[in-house]
């Protein structure tokens, strides 16, 4: 009986992980997607979009501290729900730099 309960508990635990919402990408999320994150309302979502439009893509979640309305504490609370990705790769392609033209260190090979 103990083994059965352990298996049921493990199954329920993993099911919770399966339904967890994916992290929202600070570099590609629109207003509504940003607002879906607990702790980001319309004003903060707009501030994130304005910041990345003016300053380019976020390099890390910690860059969120540079946005008006976010401090160290609020960024730490959001860390599990947001991520940084998206336009970094898109910017390389848009600039005419293919994946073969970039070394592992991010430097162009000169092709």
Distance CA 57, CA 52 (A): 5
Query: For residues 19 and 79, is the Cβ–Cβ distance under 8 A?
Result: no
- Rounded to an integer, the average pLDDT of 2-12 is 59
Find the DSSP H helices in 56-86. 72-78
CATH of the domain at 71: 1.10.150.280
pLDDT tens, position by position, 21-41: 689 999 999 999 999 999 999
Distant-in-sequence, close-in-space partners of 20: CB < 8 Å, separation ≥ 6? none
Provide the domain limits for residue 88.
22-97
The model's pTM is 0.60
DSSP E strands, the chain: 24-25, 82-83
Distance CA 41, CA 79 (A): 16
Domain count, the chain: 1
pLDDT tens, position by position, 65-84: 999 999 999 999 999 999 99
């Amino acid at each position: 009986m103990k083994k059965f309960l352990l298996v049921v508990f493990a199954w329920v635990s993993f099911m919770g992980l399966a339904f967890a919402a994916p992290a929202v990408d600070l570099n590609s999320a629109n207003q509504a997607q940003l607002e879906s994150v607990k702790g980001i309302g319309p004003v903060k979502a707009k501030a994130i979009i304005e910041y990345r439009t003016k300053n380019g893509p976020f390099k890390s979640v910690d860059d969120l501290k540079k946005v008006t309305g976010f401090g160290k504490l609020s960024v730490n609370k959001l860390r599990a729900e947001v991520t940084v990705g998206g336009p970094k790769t898109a910017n390389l392609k848009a600039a005419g730099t293919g994946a073969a033209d970039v070394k592992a260190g991010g430097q162009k090979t000169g092709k």
